[in-house]
């Protein structure tokens, strides 16, 4: 939560300065924000789905390793 507040305050402060210094360029940049947010959301969904698949693969690999170690005789 603290990192989010830091990032948002930096973004908003920078954008206020951009609007004061170069308002026309800042407005053009403002138009691209929905595209960036949408792309970030899609990437977040993809990463979460791949993480679930990765966890399942590691669980299966753990079972195989457990069986292999269990079958070693001394």
Count of structural domains, the chain: 1
Q: Report the pLDDT value the prediction gives residue 64, as an integer from 0 to 100.
A: 95
Q: The pTM is what?
A: 0.61
Compute the distance between CA of residue 53 and CA of residue 51 in angstroms, rounded to an integer. Answer: 5
10, HSE (Cβ side, Cα atoms, 13 Å): 6
- The answer to whether residues 18 and 26 touch, using CB atoms and an 8 Å cutoff, is yes
Q: What is the pLDDT of residues 2-27, one digit of tens each?
A: 999 999 999 999 999 999 999 999 99
Q: What is the pLDDT of residues 21-56, one digit of tens each?
A: 999 999 998 999 999 999 999 999 999 999 999 999
Q: Is the pLDDT of residue 1 over 90?
A: no
The domain in which residue 39 lies consists of 2-70
């Amino acid at each position: 939560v603290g990192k989010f507040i830091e990032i948002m305050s930096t973004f908003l402060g920078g954008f206020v300065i951009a609007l004061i210094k170069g308002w026309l360029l800042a407005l053009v940049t403002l138009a691209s924000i929905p595209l960036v947010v949408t792309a970030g959301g899609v990437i977040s969904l993809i990463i979460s789905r791949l993480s679930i698949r990765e966890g399942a693969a590691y669980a299966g690999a753990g079972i195989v390793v457990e069986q292999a170690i269990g079958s070693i005789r001394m």
